Amino acid sequence: LLGHVSFKSFYGVSLKRLGTKGGKWLEYTDADLDVIFGYSWEKQDLLLLQMALATGMRLGELALLTWEKIKLINACYYISLFDEGDQIISIKNEGPKTRMPIHPALKLPPRGTGRIFNCAIDGCGKASTSAGRAVNQTLRQLIGQDR
């Protein structure tokens, strides 16, 4: 390999945190959830948070969710995370490719086409940054801590 690569491909890469334990995330308490869902959110942001809480999906996964992934069987709605046809669902791990029921108390807007949320998609085809920007700052202000 020496003499074949004309640049230092790992220049500037820091490996200091590699193998270290991640931050300790705190769960929201019932009181926290009362504050969060008592806030006057934009409709899309509220639905994004409700679906995240009800399904356990990451914000980035939800932000890319399309109406075609919302299915109905026997009057029960669910989210299909299987690849179907040409449509690819972006999920972090292969394990969660499943059918996830949607709690009947979760009120979805009238069915449309395309994506459910209007979060901007970045150059890598992801929407996690824009979804996080939509809600994280307000969550920090409401709860008063970053964890």
Dihedral angle at the C-alpha atoms of 12, 19, 59, 113, nearest 10 degrees? 70
DSSP state of 67: G
The pLDDT of 19-36, averaged and rounded, is 83
pLDDT score for 97: 58
pLDDT score for 7: 64
First to last CA, the chain: 44
User: Distance between CA 74 and CA 54 in Å, rounded?
Assistant: 20
The sign of the CA dihedral 42, 44, 46, 48 is negative
Give 2's pLDDT tier (boundaries 50, 70, 90).
Answer: low
User: Distance between CA 65 and CA 78 in Å, rounded?
Assistant: 12
pTM of the model: 0.72
With 0-12 / 13-18 / 19 or more C-beta atoms within 10 angstroms meaning exposed / middle / buried, residue 96 is middle
Give 88's pLDDT tier (boundaries 50, 70, 90).
Answer: very low
Give 40's pLDDT tier (boundaries 50, 70, 90).
Answer: very high
- pLDDT over 80 (residue 66): yes
- pLDDT over 90 (residue 80): no
pLDDT, the chain, mean = 82
Per-residue buried b or exposed e for 34-72, using 16+ beta carbons within 10 Å of the residue's own CB: eebeeeebeebbebbbbbbeebebbbbbbbbbeeebeee
Query: Measured in whole angstroms, how far is the alpha carbon of residue 72 from the centre of its chain?
Result: 22
- pLDDT over 70 (residue 96): no
- The pLDDT tens digits of the residues spanning 117-147 come to 999 999 989 999 999 999 999 999 999 876 6
DSSP letters spanning 75-119 = TEEEEE-S-BTTB----S-STT-SEEEPPTTS-PPSP-SSBSS-P
